[in-house]
Structures are given as structure tokens and as C-alpha cells.
Structure 1
């Protein structure tokens, strides 16, 4: 699955108890106080069957893995990773059925994610094994990623979920919209562009590209083809381009021809459909135009919709259908999707909010926006509401309440206060999505069963009884809307998602002009007019269509039970799906939080000049203890540092411990003064998250006590007295930023603050206070940023001890010894903007997505109290950055800086300074 958020450190209240299903294949860990036993049983049973049925197509090795079920997040996701070796399933089912299907969410995760586990289990061989011995699990992950492209990892997993279920993304029309829209619009991008994406054009992700490649390879060359290819690749047979070499070896076809034929296999089906008006519109757009979604009629000539683009974040707009003119209402709060409902002058939608303390808890709250006044109110708090619909009178709202683990209930809530007026019974344990008021007594909703079948139903508000409006099937159904006694919706139909209506139980299909687009969604009708969003290669495009009695074509509801479209892939027809099985019983035992608490998994090199560090790093599966043993060499002062650190996040606040010894430290201006340092630290960290509304906000407070020893060495031993003292160290950091669009270099508005204070508590005197801040503002154009920086540092003049210095000097003045000055401040002005979007690459090694520049001016003032002396360091210049991807996967930004020094002669520096700006975190930390 696509990883929205990396693993969360800490994240659970300490009161959380954990259970486990533990056998020789997996350790399945889940909160004990939630009803997750049935889901856990199905996951365990599914994985054991996959170990027998599909393992032979990738290898023969099984290594035990830990899987943690995360039921308290509103995000639908999952991942498998090394460092440490584990997987985490985010158990919130998605509302829309079109992208990820209707297979029970936990079952779909087991099918997909366990394929990644099988991959990792069988890719530790050859040079990949050497990388594992040298650098641990993270070294193996890097070697595997370098040898085997990301499209294979995800394409192979999507193929498994399709092969072993009755649905899977490989059978969903929506999954192929991306590529079919490119083909129909005649947008023929290079292979490297398809692999790396673009900041200005719509490019499908590697899941879709990978599925086509994997499915074609398996169909043409047999079930064992990819096992042989990846075996060679993971071993780095041939060293350079091992994956391409292996494909040529086992298919007798060069890599370029293979990938072209794989794409053409699927493209032939799109070519048979032909072009259409909307695709022709997309073909005329130079780049991605933007998305226009969920349009709903306000009156005969106006609709309200959500618009977004690569330059602008989602916002509500009013559109005059006659003129096409848009009027902006308001930026949409942070949300997991753009779904909303409009009636009687009110918009209601669900927005994302984070829990203040616990990273694995977040919420989906209801927002009501008055279109006339543009005032918005949050009517629920700490809730899990999705896909709300507001009643015609604007007084009540129906929404799907999803409790941890995925159990869904329809709630009727008061539109003004958010108070729950009615909880509709759900005796069949259906999963509801996208409900719409039908009349005073009933609600229309798409529903899914515990086996994955889905349909459209009418739900009685009083007793929860349901009336099936369509036959149960594996065809995705969703986006219902009600206009009088007519129910409209979108459903999978052969290769497309198409528009339908139900009137008096008679089913009709709406043929769109020239079979508009690759998929059509979110139909809204008003009298004899309709608007809907068509999927295109330039974004979701709003289409207006006049309706008449002849517009709708009667169809048989039984057609919904026909098999899903499979692109004539014989393997999908021959294999048997793994059924959902929650009846099997497994022994459930208590999982101790202290199990394998200290879990070293990788040896990690890290370069951040002047520091060169090599660390042994560890983290337990529950993400509550991070440990590190490290050795660091500083090239400026030539000292060596050996240390051990740990942070424990099982409680709040986090507990921080550290011990370090620094050898051969010396002052740059007094090279004969040498010493060793020992430092022991005990501290607390208070991380808070306030994400919600239109801004992401984080606040971190930390403080600690340090025992410090200074032991002079060599010739200094007899000249200076050793020191031993305690000092306190406290810091606060705060960040706030608006949402960002794809092309934004920085947020249109943001604030970053950091302040740190250190003071000696015993024996000696000394302190240092550093404060820095950045303000991010919009520039002249949507992708431009004005960034203002400031910093201030003050320290004592007693020189009993000098704390390490982190003051940000004016750019260009490298190597200036200034840390002894008691008072310093700096201001900087930056203007960032893009120059071009090359979208070109070299040899599948490096791909250039964007070239951007920054013009800057820095002013630094150093004050010395004796004689009120001042030194100024002024510089102006420009930076050019290259946003790239290496080996079609790793994003790396690097740059070149030119600084014109206005005060360089005072320091013996030339006026013109050039620097190469290295990636901040190329090797990861």
C-alpha cells in the first residue's frame, strides 16, 4: 500500500495492553482491549495459506515477521520495512470502493503486504547478503531497492492481491484510469518519466506500471519467471543493471522491448475503445490542469465544487455554468479526501485532526460551512465520522461512524451542535460508505459485506433494515446521489466506471457523449441538466451534459453479476482465491511490551560535514525504544566521539538518556590546548501535535540535566585544572505550516521557531542561549516563496566553559572562528522560485525533475562588550538547486551556491565564494 506516514514513534497510551497470535510464520500483535480477534484470525489464516500457495513463485524461504495492527488511526494504509523487520496494518477501511476495492480491508492488506514479506525473505542473497552483513537490515533494504525496481515490488503485490481474491486492483477499472487516460490523450512519455513522475504533468504511480509489467511477464513466460529474474537481480549477477540483465536472460528479449510489449498488451484494450471529447481536451493541455471534483447544484446556473492543482491546495469554489467563471469560497481544511455534501446553503465534510499526544491516534471531525457567510464551524470533536450528507432542511447530518477495527454505524447528528440524535442499528455488520438522505425515513448507501460483496441499499433509519437496490456483486459501487425519487451512482462496467440511475427499481445507464473519459464519477442532476467529473490525463474535468428522457438507457441489473474485466489474463482465471476466514481459532496470548525491547538492526553511516558518523541503531517492533551506539569524527576540530543514546516513548513525556566521551578536542585558536570530555544526560521530551484546520502544527519541549567532565591531556594537563560540573539544557521548537501543493517549494505560509538554553549549575558559571526563526510567505506567483530568517545568540564572557556553537553564520563565511563572541544576531532574506521542470534523465541513473533558484541576502552582527566592538558579515548571492531522483527511486536535492562577500577582506577571504550544497541526509538517519 502507499505509505502516507512513516512509522510512528511512541504513539499509544501506556494503558494499552497487547495480545498476540504467535507461530513459526508470524507474530501478529494487536491491542487487547479492542475486538480484533476475528480480523487477526483471518490475517493469520490468510498468511499461512499464502505461504503454501504463492511462496514458490518468489522463492522458498520463510522468515518469521512481526505484524502490528493499528486500529486507532483514520488513515487507510500499511507497509512492510526493514530496520526493524516488521509490518504495520492501518485498519481503517477506505470509504471509496473504486481505488482499492471492496474486499474486507484487513484481508486485502494480508494479501498485498505479505507478498512484500515474501519478497524480503527471498532477496537476502548474493551481494544483497553482503550488504546485510555490512550494514544490517537497512543495508539489505538499500541493496534490494538498488537491484530490484520499486515497480516490481508493488506490481507483484498488486498481482498477488488480484490473483488470490475475487477482486483486487487488477480487476478494477479505476486502477487503469491513469494509463488509459494518457493513451487516449496521446501523451507518450519516456520510460524514465513514467518511472520517476513529474511535478508538472500527470504521471501514474509505480503500482500501476508494475502491475502491467508483472502480469504480462507472468502471463507470457510462466509463474516461475519473476522468481528467476529476482533471484539473479538480488544476487547482483552481472553487477550493473542486474534486473535488466535477468529479464533479457530469461525472456530472450531485451529490457526495452520487454517493457514496451508489456505496456502495449494493456494499451491494446484502450485503443479498441477509441478517443473521445474529454480525452481530446486533455490532449490539448500542455500540463496537468487540475482537479474539479464533487460538483453539486446550488441553483439552475451554479454549482459548488472542490478545485485543486499542482499549484493550488484544495478549496471550495462556486462556478457559473453559463460563463465558466469561478468564485473562491474558502480553503478546505486538511482532509483525507475531497468528498463533501451540499444542501440548503450549507456544506458539510469530514476533516482530519491529530491527537495531541498519541501519534497512532487521529480523528475525522465534521465541518459545516455556510456558503453565504463563508463561516465554518467544527461540530464534532475526537470523532471518526466519514462521508457526511446534510439533509434538505440543513438541520441534520448522516455520517458513517467507524470505530477502531473498522466496525461501521450510521449516525444521525444535529447539524448545529454535532449531538448524536440516532444510531442506526447494523445487525448484519455491513460496512457503510457515502450515505445520502433519501427521505425522512431512509438513507441510501453503498455497503460491503464481511466477504467483500457490495451493493447499493436503502436503510431504514428506525430499525436499520436494508432494502437491496442492486444484486450483490464484486463490482465497485459508490458516489450515490438523490434527486427526488431518482438515485444516481457510479459503478464498474466492463473497462470503465460509468454513471447509472435507479427510478422505481428500474436501472438505467447514462451514455456520456463519445463515451466521455476513462471513468465518470460524482454525478449531480438538476432538472434536465447534469454535471459529473471525468477522469482525464490532465485531471478530473467537470463535464456538463443536458438530459432528456432518451438520455438514459435501460439495463438489466443482472449484468452487475457478470465477471469483472481481467484483460484476458489466464492465470487470474485459473487460480482459486483465498476466502475470508474469521472462523478459524488461534491461541491468543499476552504480548509483553518489553519483549525484544533493545533490538539493534542496522549499522548506519551518516555524513553531515564536518561530522562523519557510524552508528549501530536499534528500535523495537512497537516503536517505543530507539537506541544508538555511535562513533563520530569531526573534521573541523579533529576530535573523536564515542556515545550511547536512547529515547523511550512508551510513556509521556519521552525519556532521554545518553552517555558520550569525546577524545582529543582542541580549540582552533589555541591548538596546544587539548582535552577529553565526558557527558552523561538525563532528559524529558514533550512532543505535541496540533494538526487540524488549515495548518499542520507541532510543538516540542525538552529539557535535561547533564553531568560533564573536562579532562585536559598532553601539555595542557599541567597548565589547566580538570573540570567537573552539571549543566541544564532546555529547548523549545514550534512549527506551523499551511498545506502544500505538489509544485510548492515551501508552504505558502509557515513559521519555524527554535530556542535552546544551556547553563552551568554547579562549581562554574556559564550559559548560552540560541534562538532562531523562519517565516515563510507567498511570493509573486503560486510557486514562489519569500523566506525570512533570523537568529540570536548570547553567551557568558567568563570562559569557564564554552558550549558547542550552532549559530547560523552568513553564507560564504566558512571557517571563521566566531564562537567566543558574547552576542550575535543574524537576519536573512530569501526568494525561492522554480526555473524549469526538465523531466529528463540519464541512463536510468539520475532524473532531473526541477531546477530552482534562491536569491539571498544575509547580515550578521557580532558584538564584543569591551569597547563596544562590532563585526559585520554581509553577503548576497544565489543558490541553484537540482531536485532529482537517483536510480528511479531515491529523491535527492543538491545545489551550488555563489556568495558575494561584502566584508570578506577583513577575514582574509576573497569577495567571491563558491560552495557545493550537499544533500542534508543522503544516507539517511
Structure 2
């Protein structure tokens, strides 16, 4: 769940991607929203619309004059939402999550994203509102992105969903466990570090940090703290620090002093509470390296060996084996595991993994993979499925999955692994959810967490008589991950007294027993014989631990259980499914909504070239992100020309197609004046594949250009120029960790061919250029170092008057030049020197310092006998300026060309947008 600001890339505004072109869209209108959805999602779309109306009724001061468009992407398998401004819309990715809270996910989603809408409406006041008439919607997102930090935006939204639901994230001890561990370990950091992150320390993310600051209400009015900084930033963007002044007016303190007060008092309260409790210490089964903030989770055993999933700040997802000396061995690297659990049974382990559509970003799948530890073989269930939370039987013949259909129905399925056929299924509709099923020993029953009516239950499903039994629940205690200990005992994870631990539930006497007593939390239990393996939390992440279950020394605990209320479902939520008359739901045709002018400027600007001139710019993008267009006029006094044109790109077909056109009027002198009529058409096919931890990008593109000159003095119209550009590229890379500078293994191949035909006056010429570019990444000496090798070749056909610009790279410091044959190679080594995490007042916060020594060479001429080379180094910092959301690359380059007797220095300044 997030808010997208106006961060531009290649002259486009933010787009989330597209659905397949054959999808039919429908829409209906509420008082404040236009809900755009797919046909089979109609009932759920009605619920979402009603939830949004319910949420906005809390804000009588918010007036939406034009209905806000809400696009529902039901072909996705990731639960998320965004609010983007320019164009203004809300985009929702609604699906039940495998480890959900007790709330209905649509309820949390609606309240969270609606709060982002409120934030944007609140900032659109005073001077910002005046500027929006001049610049359109992008000025609103720009002001928000410039002044309001991400921790405030997301923390505010989490406060809203927590206050407005039964079991929002803020009520979950897991959500704030990093803050607790940090403070109880006396890890107090600067405000800048907490708000902008670190590569070396484990910090709360923007959601947790912001929620902690904004939910602290002692002596402060929370509503003023959440509203006034945004309102003041919108009204007074010309002030140097309007957000800071808003914090000070609502709290009486600067934001740094407010942060210190909140976290000092929170630390004091946590330590006082800690002194009243006793905890047990558990030895770690893994060896944690210094400054490696990784998680060791999902422990399981096979043949007396310990295995787990390792992931985190310095590690990609991988199954590892840990020996008795705590040495690790990677067994298998996997992709993005999306059920928050790897299930193991005997020699088999299974998990769900995201599969991305090769072309359509907003269509994904969740597939099931099975790994055999005995044979070291991996298989996957066939088909483009939407399966989650798999659990495999002891013999490996059957597997249970939870399917989330595109209509959001939750279906429990039993599948034959060999035939891929469904043996049995039970449909739970679209109101309940199932988390993490687990088999009993003879595979006759499944135990799982059932989520319904804002509560969780431990349930069992008997496959033989098709019966569902509720064993415990009715309140939300964060119960998760049930596993069968024996036929009458279930081990599970739950939150009690603010800490997650492992518990045992007896089906015979209905009593609960506490198995672990950790300071910060224990989860993901695995039982072998009478040994319980689990993941325990500490400041650096999750570690593995184990205990022996002594049946004679079990500590009984009392949990409230309200199973009897399970049939009295939330009437208020169910009523929101009320049917809207069919004539209110209409087809939403993409063809009639292609143009949506959202932003403009009383001047011309080109974000790719960082230029601005007198003129006019109009920007359009439809809310489905299929059509992006621009209409503009430019007057350039320096080069003495007028230029008017437009461009349009359509991404709704499998190939992306586009068209550019402009008229340029240029005065060279009193005797030389001409018009240039330019038209071009192009297509591209961007493809993406992912297999486990490998990523594959393939692209094919072609552009045809037509230039027609008209001499306004001689009236000659015979001057023409045609050009064609063609490209195909391939890229393979493995997943990178958070701390990696780039992918450690990468291969890139880029083939370009351009050709042209001239007919200017009586001069005719055919030109072409062919180029091959390659790039290879390899691991360096230390963990996050990268060695980059680049090889490029270019063959030109040109004369001294007309020629294409170079496609290949020229060594740094060498003036651009042309030759019929050119070949380059370069070697670069990138190594992070330091992670200083230091602030220079409020001006800059430096997170990382990187050194890049390099050597670059170009050969040219007949037989490539001549060469020029240069060498040097870049010393750069990753720096947040003025506490901006995105960092900047700032540094210096020292370069020397082979035949020069001096070194040249250059200043480096780039925006680092991922």
C-alpha cells in the first residue's frame, strides 16, 4: 500500500502497467468515485465502492467535485494499492493474503488508500491550489513529494486503518517488533537515519516508523499532528520548511525533538514493562555474520540435517543447510515466495512463488513448486495458477493448496501431484480466508487458520466426511502456522501480552500451553518427534532455535475463545455487497477514454534533456495507463526556431506502438529559412521472464522516420530524409540483495541497425550503422563488489556531411569521433567503501560511499589498428539532499586520457530512481 508521487522517467508519468488487451472493463459510479473493474469482479467492486464511500464520510471537509477514478486490477496476485496524482486515480490490487489479519482485506485497503487521497486533497490548498490552475495535477504530487516525507505519508495511512478496523496493522505486535527490539537493545539513531534508512543497521521501515511517531498521543492532539503539517506545506510551499513548522505548531516541538521525545519515552516504557517480565534465552542454531541483517526462517529437518529459508538485507531467497558447526550450504535459490511459509514433510518441501506474465505487468500467477531433498529434483504444478499456502503429504502424492480465484473466491483444493488433477475441493466463498493448512499424519485431515468476521479460528477439515470443525478462535490473537504435534495436539504461533510465541492446543481438554517465552517473538514452528524448531526474533532479524517439548512441564495459558459468534457475521460489511441495478454498471471502453489531459505548463519542457523554453505543454495519460500523449509548442531563441508537435504511445496491444510528429520553423539568416516536417512511427515488444532467482528481459523495436524540408526562400520541397532504426536486446540477471550495487551475475546483448536514404538537392547518399553492445557482471572480491566487463563493436557507412551519432560508448574524456570500424572494451570495478550514515545538518544524509575504478579503450581504423584509452575512478556518495524521498548520486570523477599529461576532474550528480 503506497502513495506514488511525481517521479518522472523518460518523460512519462507513473504507470503501473497494463492488463491483457482482450480484457473487458466495466464501471459504475458512486457519489464520489468511478469504480472501473473487470466483469467477473463486479460484486467485489460494489463492496469496494461502498467501503470507500463509508471511509470518505469521515471527512466532511473533503469535497470531490469530479469523481475519482478507482481502477481494480483483479488479475494480480499481490495485495496492494496506490494513489497516484498525475493523472489522479486510485489503483487497487485486491486479494486475500495468506497471512492476513482478522480484517476483511478490502476494508483495510479502502481505509489506507482513502487516507492517501485525503492527504493529496489537504495539500491542495492555498498557494498549491493556485499553482494547480497553472500546472495541473502534477504540481500537487510534486509539492507532496518535495515536502512530505514517506514515513509521514505511510505512517498516517497505517494509523487510519488501525483506528478504523478491528485488527489493523498497528494492533499487531509483529508490525512494531523491530522498534521494540531496537529500543530494548539501546539502539537509538538520529532522526535522519531513521527516516532515510541504512545499509548497515536493521531499522523499522517507513510504515512502522511513521506509525510509531504519529500514533503517540500523550499530550498531543493526534488529528492536528496528522493534518496540519500537510495543510501548511500546501498553503505555504514558498516557506523554507513548511512541514517542520506544521510539526512544531501541532506538537510544540521540532520534528527532531518530537522524535527524541517519543522514542525516549517509548524506550522508558518498554524497559519498565520488560522489568516486570521474565524471558527465556534460546541458543541460535545458525551463525550470524557481523552486519548481515538477514532472516533465518522456516526451519525443518531431514535425515538429521537442519534446513531453513535464508533471506534479508544481504541475501536473496535461498534454501540452506546448516551443519552442527553452524556452517551454511546453499541447497536451492528460489524466487519470490509469496505465502510467508515453506512447508516440509519428510523429504519434500513446497512453496508458492510469483510467476510474472511475459508482457502484461498487471497479470501475475502464483505457482506451486516442490523440491525433493532426497533426489535433489524440483517440479512445479502445471498451469498458470493462483495457488497459495501449499502443504504436501508425507508420501509426496497429494498436495493441498488455497486458490484465490479472479472473483476472489477462496477454494481449498486437494491435488494429485502426478496427474495434476483436483481430487477434492471446498469453496469458502469470498468472505472467509484460509491460512497455512497442515496435514495430520495419515493425511485424513487438514488443520488451518480460518479468517472470517474480523477474527481467526483454528479449524480442521475432514476429507473423508467433508466436515469442517471449529476448534478455537473467535477473537484475533494473530494465530498463525498450525502444525500437528500428534492426533490430539496442535502447535501454533500467536500473540499474547504484546509478544508472539509458540503455543500448544489440546483438542481433548481445549486447553492452551505456552511452549516458548521469547523477549521479542517466536514463529514458524516445525515439530520433529518431541523437538520444536522455530524462528526467534532479535534486533538483527530472525534466528533459528529449538526446544525439547517436555509434556510434563507445560505451562497453561488462558485464551479467550468465542466460537459461538462465528455465524453472526458482520452485518455492516455484508450489507455492502448489496446489488447495484444492472443498468448502473456499464461497459468502460478504452477507446473512448484514451485522452485524459491531467497536467500542463505555460512553457515547454523536456524531462529527458532537462530543458525548458517558452511555449506550452499538455500531458495526457489514461487511467488504465495504456495511452500516454503530449502536445507542445516551443520557442527556442538561442537556436532561433519555433516547434509545434505531439507524440502518442499506446501500450494496450501486445506490441507497444507510437507516433511522433512535429513542425519546426527555423531561421538561419535572412536568406536561409526553412520548415522541417517530421513524422515517425515505431513499435516495440518488451518481454519479461522469471525463473526462480533469474530474470530475463527481451526487447524488439523498430522505428521509421520521415524528414521533409521546405526552403521558405526558394520554395523547394524536394528535400527528403528517411531513416529506420531497429533493435533487439537480451538481458539475464540474478536477483540482487538490498545492499548489492548491481546484480552479481548479468549478461546483456544489444544489437542495433540504423539505415537511411538521403535526397537533398541533387545530393544522394545511403548511410547505415551496425552496432553490437555487450555487458557482463561478475561477483567481486567482497560480498557486494561488482566487476563489469563491456565489449562493443560498431561498423559505419557515412560521409563527411551526414552521419548517425555513435551507438557504442566512447572512452571517458575522449571527444566524440567517427570511423568506419570501431570497437571498445572497458573494465570497471565497483566496491562500497563505507556506510557512514552521517548527516550534514538538514542539508544532506550520506548512506553509502562507492569507489569505481575503470579502464576504457577504443580501437578504430582499418583492421582496428589504432587505439585511444582512458582510465580513472569515480568516488560517489548515495546522498539524500534536504531529506528527499529519493537519493542522489553525488561525487567526483578523476580521469586521464592516454596522450594527455594531466588529469581531469568532473562533478557527478544524478538522481537515483529505481
- TM-score (norm: length of structure 1): 0.88
Is residue 2:693 matched to residue 1:694? yes
1:19 corresponding residue in structure 2: 26
Is residue 2:247 matched to residue 1:247? yes
Contact 2:293 2:314 in 1 (8 A): no
Contact 1:506 1:554 in 2 (8 A): no
Counting only pairs closer than 5 Å after superposition, residues 554-593 of structure 1 correspond to structure 2 as 554-558=556-560, 579=573, 581-586=575-580, 587-593=584-590
Contact 1:434 1:478 in 2 (8 A): yes
Using the TM superposition, give the Cα deviation of residue 302 of structure 1 relative to its aligned residue in structure 2, in angstroms: 2.5
2:870 corresponding residue in structure 1: 875
Using the TM superposition, give the Cα deviation of residue 708 of structure 1 relative to its aligned residue in structure 2, in angstroms: 1.9
Once residues 748 and 637 of structure 1 are traced to their aligned partners in structure 2, the CA distance between those partners, rounded to angstroms, is 45
Counting only pairs closer than 5 Å after superposition, residues 328-407 of structure 1 correspond to structure 2 as 328-336=330-338, 339-407=341-409
Counting only pairs closer than 5 Å after superposition, residues 710-725 of structure 1 correspond to structure 2 as 710=709, 723-725=719-721
Once residues 664 and 778 of structure 1 are traced to their aligned partners in structure 2, the CA distance between those partners, rounded to angstroms, is 52
Once residues 721 and 541 of structure 2 are traced to their aligned partners in structure 1, the CA distance between those partners, rounded to angstroms, is 63
Contact 1:444 1:457 in 2 (8 A): yes
1:704 corresponding residue in structure 2: 703
Once residues 241 and 13 of structure 1 are traced to their aligned partners in structure 2, the CA distance between those partners, rounded to angstroms, is 45
Aligned partner of 1:918 among 876, 894, 909: 909
Contact 1:283 1:537 in 2 (8 A): no
2:94 corresponding residue in structure 1: 91
Q: Deviations over 1:511-565 (max 9, x none)?
A: 466x3132211011223322211122101111222321244322334267999xx
Using the TM superposition, give the Cα deviation of residue 219 of structure 1 relative to its aligned residue in structure 2, in angstroms: 7.1
Counting only pairs closer than 5 Å after superposition, residues 141-220 of structure 1 correspond to structure 2 as 141-217=141-217, 220=220
Once residues 809 and 284 of structure 1 are traced to their aligned partners in structure 2, the CA distance between those partners, rounded to angstroms, is 45
- 39-48 or 415-424: which moved more? 415-424
1:298 corresponding residue in structure 2: 302
Counting only pairs closer than 5 Å after superposition, residues 701-780 of structure 1 correspond to structure 2 as 701-710=700-709, 723-760=719-756, 764-780=765-781
Counting only pairs closer than 5 Å after superposition, residues 310-709 of structure 1 correspond to structure 2 as 310-320=313-323, 322-336=324-338, 339-426=341-428, 430-438=432-440, 439-449=442-452, 451-462=453-464, 464-485=466-487, 486-506=489-509, 511=514, 515-558=517-560, 579=573, 581-586=575-580, 587-603=584-600, 605-606=605-606, 616-629=618-631, 643-661=645-663, 677-709=676-708
Q: Deviations over 1:779-830 (max 9, x none)?
A: 12220111111222222135674234343110122xx2414x2222211111
Once residues 845 and 3 of structure 1 are traced to their aligned partners in structure 2, the CA distance between those partners, rounded to angstroms, is 25
Q: List gaps (5 residues or longer) in structure 1.
A: 564-575, 667-671, 905-909
- 593-602 or 359-368: which moved more? 593-602
Once residues 858 and 622 of structure 1 are traced to their aligned partners in structure 2, the CA distance between those partners, rounded to angstroms, is 44
Using the TM superposition, give the Cα deviation of residue 460 of structure 1 relative to its aligned residue in structure 2, in angstroms: 2.3
Once residues 47 and 244 of structure 2 are traced to their aligned partners in structure 1, the CA distance between those partners, rounded to angstroms, is 38
Q: List gaps (5 residues or longer) in structure 2.
A: 6-12, 760-764
SS at match of 2:155: helix
Contact 1:216 1:265 in 2 (8 A): no
Once residues 532 and 901 of structure 1 are traced to their aligned partners in structure 2, the CA distance between those partners, rounded to angstroms, is 59
Once residues 216 and 198 of structure 2 are traced to their aligned partners in structure 1, the CA distance between those partners, rounded to angstroms, is 25
Using the TM superposition, give the Cα deviation of residue 223 of structure 1 relative to its aligned residue in structure 2, in angstroms: 3.7
Once residues 563 and 470 of structure 2 are traced to their aligned partners in structure 1, the CA distance between those partners, rounded to angstroms, is 14
Aligned partner of 2:850 among 841, 849, 852: 852
SS at match of 2:910: coil
1:29 corresponding residue in structure 2: 36
Using the TM superposition, give the Cα deviation of residue 139 of structure 1 relative to its aligned residue in structure 2, in angstroms: 2.4
1:571 corresponding residue in structure 2: none
Contact 2:512 2:559 in 1 (8 A): no
Q: Deviations over 1:47-102 (max 9, x none)?
A: 2222222455xx566653111111111111111011111111111221113xxx23
Contact 1:431 1:447 in 2 (8 A): yes
SS at match of 1:257: helix
Is residue 2:821 matched to residue 1:823? yes
SS at match of 1:153: helix
Once residues 600 and 283 of structure 2 are traced to their aligned partners in structure 1, the CA distance between those partners, rounded to angstroms, is 53
Once residues 873 and 633 of structure 1 are traced to their aligned partners in structure 2, the CA distance between those partners, rounded to angstroms, is 40
* Inter-CA distance 756–428: structure 2 relative to 1 (3 Å threshold): closer
- 349-358 or 222-231: which moved more? 222-231
1:234 corresponding residue in structure 2: 234
* Inter-CA distance 659–340: structure 2 relative to 1 (3 Å threshold): same
1:80 corresponding residue in structure 2: 83
SS at match of 1:296: strand
Give the count of matched residue pairs. Answer: 881
Using the TM superposition, give the Cα deviation of residue 479 of structure 1 relative to its aligned residue in structure 2, in angstroms: 1.2
Counting only pairs closer than 5 Å after superposition, residues 35-54 of structure 1 correspond to structure 2 as 36-54=41-59
SS at match of 2:20: coil
SS at match of 1:918: strand
Once residues 851 and 617 of structure 2 are traced to their aligned partners in structure 1, the CA distance between those partners, rounded to angstroms, is 34
Using the TM superposition, give the Cα deviation of residue 370 of structure 1 relative to its aligned residue in structure 2, in angstroms: 2.0
Using the TM superposition, give the Cα deviation of residue 159 of structure 1 relative to its aligned residue in structure 2, in angstroms: 1.5
Contact 1:336 1:352 in 2 (8 A): yes
CA-based RMSD of the aligned residues comes to 3.4
2:762 corresponding residue in structure 1: none
Contact 1:443 1:460 in 2 (8 A): yes
Using the TM superposition, give the Cα deviation of residue 703 of structure 1 relative to its aligned residue in structure 2, in angstroms: 1.6
2:879 corresponding residue in structure 1: 884
Contact 2:2 2:113 in 1 (8 A): no
Contact 2:184 2:267 in 1 (8 A): no
* Inter-CA distance 538–10: structure 2 relative to 1 (3 Å threshold): closer
Using the TM superposition, give the Cα deviation of residue 847 of structure 1 relative to its aligned residue in structure 2, in angstroms: 1.4
2:894 corresponding residue in structure 1: 898
Contact 1:853 1:878 in 2 (8 A): yes
SS at match of 1:530: strand
Using the TM superposition, give the Cα deviation of residue 590 of structure 1 relative to its aligned residue in structure 2, in angstroms: 2.1
* Inter-CA distance 179–510: structure 2 relative to 1 (3 Å threshold): farther
- 783-792 or 525-534: which moved more? 525-534
Using the TM superposition, give the Cα deviation of residue 150 of structure 1 relative to its aligned residue in structure 2, in angstroms: 2.1
SS at match of 2:856: strand
Q: Deviations over 1:362-398 (max 9, x none)?
A: 1111112122343222232311111111111122111
Once residues 864 and 664 of structure 2 are traced to their aligned partners in structure 1, the CA distance between those partners, rounded to angstroms, is 34
Q: Deviations over 1:825-883 (max 9, x none)?
A: 211111111000011123333211110111111011232x6xx7864220111111211
Q: Deviations over 1:449-487 (max 9, x none)?
A: 2x3322111012256431011132233221111233232
- 591-600 or 80-89: which moved more? 591-600
Using the TM superposition, give the Cα deviation of residue 134 of structure 1 relative to its aligned residue in structure 2, in angstroms: 4.8
SS at match of 1:220: coil
Q: Deviations over 1:238-275 (max 9, x none)?
A: 81221221232233334333233333454455323427
Once residues 600 and 867 of structure 2 are traced to their aligned partners in structure 1, the CA distance between those partners, rounded to angstroms, is 43
2:8 corresponding residue in structure 1: none
Contact 1:425 1:464 in 2 (8 A): no
Contact 1:312 1:782 in 2 (8 A): no
Once residues 748 and 62 of structure 1 are traced to their aligned partners in structure 2, the CA distance between those partners, rounded to angstroms, is 51
Once residues 330 and 222 of structure 1 are traced to their aligned partners in structure 2, the CA distance between those partners, rounded to angstroms, is 48
2:256 corresponding residue in structure 1: 256
SS at match of 2:202: coil
Contact 1:83 1:138 in 2 (8 A): yes
- 209-218 or 829-838: which moved more? 209-218
SS at match of 2:195: helix
Once residues 151 and 55 of structure 1 are traced to their aligned partners in structure 2, the CA distance between those partners, rounded to angstroms, is 26
